Structure 1
Amino acid sequence: MFEFFGTIGGLIMTPLYYVVSAVMLAWHKVFSLFLDPNGGLSWLLSIVGLTLVIRAALIPLFVKQIKSSRNMALLQPQVRELQKKYKHDRERLAQETMKLYKEAGTNPFASCLPILLQMPIFFALFRMIDQAAKKGTAHGFLTEDLADQFGQSRLFGDAGTNEGIPISGTFLSGDGTAVMILAAVLVVAMTATTFLTQRQLMAKNMPPEALTGPYAQQQKMLLYVLPVVFAVGGVAFPIGVLMYWTTSNLWTMSQQFYVIRRNPAPGTPAAKAKAERDAEKAKRKGVSTGDVSLEKSAGGTAVVDDEAEAPRPRVQPQRQTKAQRSKQQGGGPRPTGGAKSVPTKSKKKR
């Protein structure tokens, strides 16, 4: 039975070994132009390069994740209405809720796609580092020499003299105080970036009505549970794997900050901040923005500003006759026939 599952696992992981090793070796060749190819820094930077390539490939899924989280937050008032309506029929509630999500074009499972797709890459890198360090086992495009070089590479030292920090070392490996300190720093960084990324989403891009209910409870659970999971599991991760995950978290946090800043959800603190920035930018450019309040830019209802001067409508000039123009000039209408009019004097009554 164990051999069967081992064979299945090998068939699944083998393509990933080739993908991971190909990207890493390409970056390693670049860094070897100005760094020691046997040193740990060139291999560690190759892992950072691998992370950037993987995250760049996942950009479409990340955008889909942000949109899904945004739509889920905006739909929470309607979800609560369904919960009140079908509170005694859980099956009907589930059907109506999924129907609502489908009509809105969102998927509650889309927010998990980036992290789920990264997990196989994570485990492939973990096994490559671990087996290269312990057995010199080569995977993918790594030869035995490259696998041994990869597994034995050290930061701030030479593999031949066993000085420095091995990138395969863990907090629990007992490879020295320097390894434990660096691993602890990376575990804290990985945990903190995970927490701050989720906190950023909840504090900046969730409307007030979405901060209560089951969806809010789910987000709060992710806010506190995920960092604890990474902190507990991180003490057993090699330094190379910790660097991968920390770099990935920094990418996620930066990308999420950019998306929320440029396209925030309506009615959120991020939308209000964007409206204020747009108003300030328009003010600097000399563009009048007083006719519509900031709520419109923030996704709310447009409110007319009483202090703003309403634009005057342009009145087209009307064509006038010659008699009308003469009357406006004070001359009065002229008699026809060319005769001059003579004013008559009234006779005095004797």
Structure 2
Amino acid sequence: MLDFVYYPVSAVLLLWHKVFGFAFGPDNGITWALAVVFLVFTIRLVLLKPMIRQIRTQRVLAKLQPEIKALQKKYAGDRNRQAVELQKLQKEHGFSPLLGCLPILVQMPVFLGLLHVLQSFNRTGTGFGKLGMSPELNAHTANYLFSAADVQSFLHARLFGAPISAAITSPANLLDAFSQFGGVPTTLSIAAVAIPLMLAASLFTHLNARASMARQNAETLANPQTALMNKLALWVFPIGALIGGPFLMIAVLIYWVSNNLWTYVQQHLVFERLDAEESVRRIE
């Protein structure tokens, strides 16, 4: 159903696995971890230009607030006319509400695609979405663009002793699939890798929210809806990383940390550049 997502995700992941496989070996956990990290970086790099345009249009919209309020006041009794005039104003200044949703609209299917492709390296579980394969059949069945040999390489891979497709709460029948590929890992060995990643994901989620709040003006901060979202981003979402982390495979936690790390660095670099551009325009 979502093959149009799964195949491109597996293609990018496979590409980076081949690249880092030359340096560290195809079965190395670092190779697979870096493949996930650079999958994130690839997607975020593709989204960089629309993201910068999104920030620029948001800044334009902030400057248009007085005009927007004037329109709302002028056409307070005519909501249809108010909507038409508001759309006209946004169009004149190149603002598109859809553009603000573009990064998340692209990243969400990529995240779901990565989750599915990674889960499909180990199809021995039962239940919703599981195929219930035997460990032998699973190890000799391709996974989208990954060959059976790649599947076995993934099962061999360990990151500080833990398979990157395992989660703290992985049931015993899923962990048994690793018996012929380095032995069945313990929950403790998985937790030793997953918990630091969970803490990092939580920390970066909080820091990104704090950095975003620092750039909001007083009027925006006073808005009740914005205030609620800020509280969710500052505290609820980071706590969610700690609560949901035990149920996520290590590779997904690597994705989460990498994505948040990119966002943290990107926010500072991009806003510094845009602030410098505005300073130059004021001088001119």
Q: State the TM-score, normalized to the length of structure 2.
A: 0.75
How far is the alpha carbon of 1:200 from its aligned partner?
Answer: 1.8
Question: What does residue 112 of structure 1 align with?
Answer: 101
Structure number with greater CO (CA < 8 Å, separation at least 6) is 2
Task: Please give the per-residue CA displacement for 1:177-214, whole angstroms capped at 9, x wherever unaligned.
Answer: 2322432332332233233223323313x444444447
- The equivalent of 1:34 in structure 2 is 23
CA distance in 1, matches of 2:44, 2:29: 23
Q: CA RMSD in A?
A: 3.1
Match status 1:124 vs 2:109: no
1:97 corresponds in structure 2 to: 86
**Paired position in structure 1 for 2:48:** 59
Within the alignment, does 1:197 sit opposite 2:204 as a pair?
no
Match of 2:274 in 1: 263
CA contact (8 A) 1:76 1:209 kept: no
Secondary structure of the 1:37 match is coil
2:120 and 2:190 mapped to 1: Cα distance?
Answer: 19
Aligned residue identity for 1:25: L
Aligned to 1:289: none
| Paired residues of 1:41 and 1:155 also in contact (CA < 8 A) | yes
Matching of residue 220 in structure 1 with residue 230 in structure 2: yes
Query: 1:101-180 alignment to 2 at 5 Å?
Result: 101-135=90-124, 136=138, 138-156=142-160, 164-173=161-170, 175-180=186-191
Question: What SS does the corresponding residue of 2:121 show, helix, strand or coil?
Answer: helix
C-alpha distance in structure 2 between counterparts of 1:213 and 1:86, whole Å: 22
Which runs of 4 or more aligned residues in structure 1 lie more than 6 Å from their structure 2 counterparts after TM superposition?
298-302
| Contact 1:47–1:244 (CA under 8 A) maintained in structure 2 | yes
| Alpha-carbon contact 2:159-2:193 (below 8 Å) kept | no
SS in 1 for 2:112: helix
Pairing of 1:244-283 with structure 2 (within 5 A): 244-264=255-275
The one-letter code sitting in structure 2 at the alignment partner of 1:172 is: T
Whether the 8 Å contact between 2:197 and 2:254 is mirrored in structure 1 is: yes
Gaps of 5+ in 2: 125-137, 172-185
Q: Report the 3-state secondary structure (helix = DSSP H, G, I; strand = E; otherwise coil) of the residue aligned with 2:198.
A: helix
| CA gap 1:95/1:179 in 2 versus in 1, 3 angstroms | farther
Cα distance in 2 for partners of 1:179, 1:36 equals 22
What letter corresponds to residue 140 of structure 1 in structure 2?
Answer: Y
Normalised by the size of structure 1, how large is the TM-score? 0.62
Whole-Å Cα distance in 1 between the matches of residues 86 and 233 of structure 2?
A: 24
Question: Which whole-Å CA distance do the structure 2 matches of 1:123 and 1:81 have between them?
Answer: 43
Deviation at 1:132, TM superposition (A): 0.8
Residue 221 of structure 1 deviates from its aligned partner by: 6.1
Q: Say if 2:6 and 2:116, in contact at 8 Å, map to a contact too.
A: no
Q: How far apart in 2 are the matches of 1:78 and 1:232?
A: 44
Q: Deviations over 1:327-350 (max 9, x none)?
A: xxxxxxxxxxxxxxxxxxxxxxxx
Q: Is this contact kept in 1: 2:10–2:146, CA < 8 A?
A: yes
CA distance in 2, matches of 1:213, 1:82: 19
- Going from structure 1 to structure 2, the CA distance change for 1:218 and 1:104 (only over 3 Å counts) comes to farther
| 2:135 matched residue in structure 1 | none
Partners of 2:85 and 2:4 lie apart in 1 by: 40
Q: 1:171 to 1:115 in 2, by over 3 A?
A: farther
Quick one: structure 1 residues 148 and 95, their matched pair in 2 at CA, closer, same or farther if it must change by over 3 Å? farther
Unaligned runs of 5+ in 1: 1-8, 157-163, 265-273, 276-295, 303-350
Matched, 1:46 2:43: no
Letter in 2 for 1:252: T
Question: Alpha-carbon deviation of 1:89?
Answer: 4.6
User: Any conservation in 2 of the 1:44–1:240 contact (CA below 8 Å)?
Assistant: yes
Q: What's 2:4 paired with?
A: 15
Residue pairs, 1:273-312, within 5 angstroms: 297=279
User: Aligned partners of 1:95 and 1:228: how far apart in 2?
Assistant: 41
- Residue 215 of structure 1: how far off its partner (Å): 7.4
CA distance, structure 2, for counterparts of residue 181 and residue 91 of structure 1 = 58
> Residue 126 and residue 155 in structure 1: after superposition, are their counterparts in 2 closer, same or farther (change >3 A)?
same
Partners of 1:188 and 1:153 lie apart in 2 by: 23
1:91 Cα deviation after fit? 4.3
Which residue identity is paired with 2:253? L
- Superposed displacement of residue 298, structure 1: 8.6
